[in-house]
């Protein structure tokens, strides 16, 4: 089966593409990043519907994994661009899925659809959604639009609500720490890593390879019991993360800010996904230990 992946050269998209290929799928990867000849990656702006439609006309697409998005910081700074990419391009993509009879639409959503919750509250898919910013609001809109297409057109649309993704290779200008805590642990040179949150705060973390595994399961499943799943993730206290990284490499100093976590829960119930797919993740500290060992 051909799987079209938007944002295919992004942090999550690269991992998803590699994993899909290993499992025998042919990946049609779309991204605005230029690519060299002789690959199945296509330089394509998803805000250009004619360019995207060209891929559907030249390839028989069996499933879509929609990951392309303008991230929260840029979305707040450039709301018009964020609306074009996060909303209008998603609308166009769902309409092409309907037009070209795509079997499944897997949407990379976000735990930010829930907005801010009390520190002691564990949030499940049954809880209310109340996004605090443009990014979360766009994710929620596309989720609900996908559900409407499911009812009206029979498109099997499913959304995975993802937390803060960590692991090597993020290339983030605003949240570089998400990769630096993995990339610099085995580095003898060390240095300073900045995390903007207070040491007593909790953040929901998930490794990029675990996200890819979850998306693969949503693509492969013969049937899906639910239209929305919270992604597996771990609630990590920032102060404990600082202590563990500095223990693994004493040459690293994690400089913490004083910010509270807003726009996301601090704890999330992901038992729906775990029970349906038998899914488990390795603890983040265990994955950091593997990075320190060079694995």
Could you give the 3-state DSSP secondary structure of residue 19? helix
User: What pLDDT, on a 0 to 100 scale, did the predictor assign at position 38?
Assistant: 52
Flag whether pLDDT at 295 surpasses 80: no
For a pLDDT cut of 70, what percent of the chain falls above it?
Answer: 98
pLDDT digits (tens, 9 = 90+) for 256-287: 998 999 999 999 999 999 999 999 999 999 99
Q: Are 57 and 39 in contact (CB under 8 A)?
A: no
Q: List phi, psi (to 5°) of 103.
A: -75, -40
CA–CA separation, 4 vs 59, rounded Å? 9
Q: Looking at the domain 2-164+205-230, which fold is it? A: Rossmann fold (3.40.50)
User: What pLDDT, on a 0 to 100 scale, did the predictor assign at position 34?
Assistant: 74
What CATH number has the domain spanning 166-204+234-263+282-292?
3.90.25
User: What pLDDT, on a 0 to 100 scale, did the predictor assign at position 189?
Assistant: 74
Q: Give the DSSP per-residue string, 58-97.
A: HS-EEEEEE-----HHHHHH-HHHHIIIIIIHHHHHHHHH
Q: What is the mean pLDDT of residues 66-79?
A: 95
Q: How many CB atoms lie within 10 A of CB 173?
A: 9
User: What pLDDT, on a 0 to 100 scale, did the predictor assign at position 261?
Assistant: 92
pLDDT digits (tens, 9 = 90+) for 164-204: 999 999 887 778 999 999 999 988 777 899 999 999 999 99
Global pTM value = 0.96
2-164+205-230 against 166-204+234-263+282-292: fold identical: no
CA 280 → CA 7, 88, 207, distances in Å? Answer: 26, 35, 12
Spell out the alpha helix ranges (H) of 59-207. Answer: 72-77, 79-82, 89-99, 134-153, 177-183
Q: Hey, where are the domains in the chain?
A: 2-164+205-230, 166-204+234-263+282-292
């Amino acid at each position: 089966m051909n799987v079209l992946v938007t944002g295919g050269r992004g942090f999550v998209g690269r991992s998803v593409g590699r994993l899909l290929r290993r499992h025998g799928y042919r990946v049609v990867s779309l991204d605005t990043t230029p690519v060299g000849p002789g690959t199945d990656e296509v330089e394509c702006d998803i805000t250009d519907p004619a360019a995207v439609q060209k891929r559907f006309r030249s390839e028989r697409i069996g499933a879509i994994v929609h990951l392309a998005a303008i991230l929260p910081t840029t979305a707040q700074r450039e709301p018009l661009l964020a609306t074009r990419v996060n909303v209008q391009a998603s609308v166009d993509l769902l309409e092409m899925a309907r037009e070209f009879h795509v079997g499944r639409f897997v949407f990379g959503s976000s735990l930010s659809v829930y907005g801010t919750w009390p520190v002691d509250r564990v949030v499940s898919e049954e809880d209310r959604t109340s996004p605090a910013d443009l990014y979360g609001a766009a994710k929620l809109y596309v989720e609900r639009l996908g559900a409407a297409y499911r009812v009206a057109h029979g498109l099997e649309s499913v959304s995975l609500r993802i937390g803060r993704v960590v692991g090597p290779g993020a290339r983030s200008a605003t949240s570089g720490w998400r990769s630096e805590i993995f990339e610099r642990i085995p580095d003898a040179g060390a240095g300073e890593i900045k995390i903007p949150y207070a040491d007593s705060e909790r953040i929901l973390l998930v490794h990029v390879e675990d996200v890819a595994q979850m998306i693969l399961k949503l693509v492969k499943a013969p049937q899906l019991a639910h239209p929305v799943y919270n992604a597996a993730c771990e609630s990590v206290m920032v102060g404990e993360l600082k202590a563990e990284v500095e223990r693994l490499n004493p040459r690293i100093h994690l400089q913490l800010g004083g910010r509270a976590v807003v726009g996301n829960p601090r704890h999330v119930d992901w038992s729906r996904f775990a029970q349906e797919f038998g899914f488990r993740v390795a603890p983040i500290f265990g994955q950091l230990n593997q990075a320190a060992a060079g694995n």
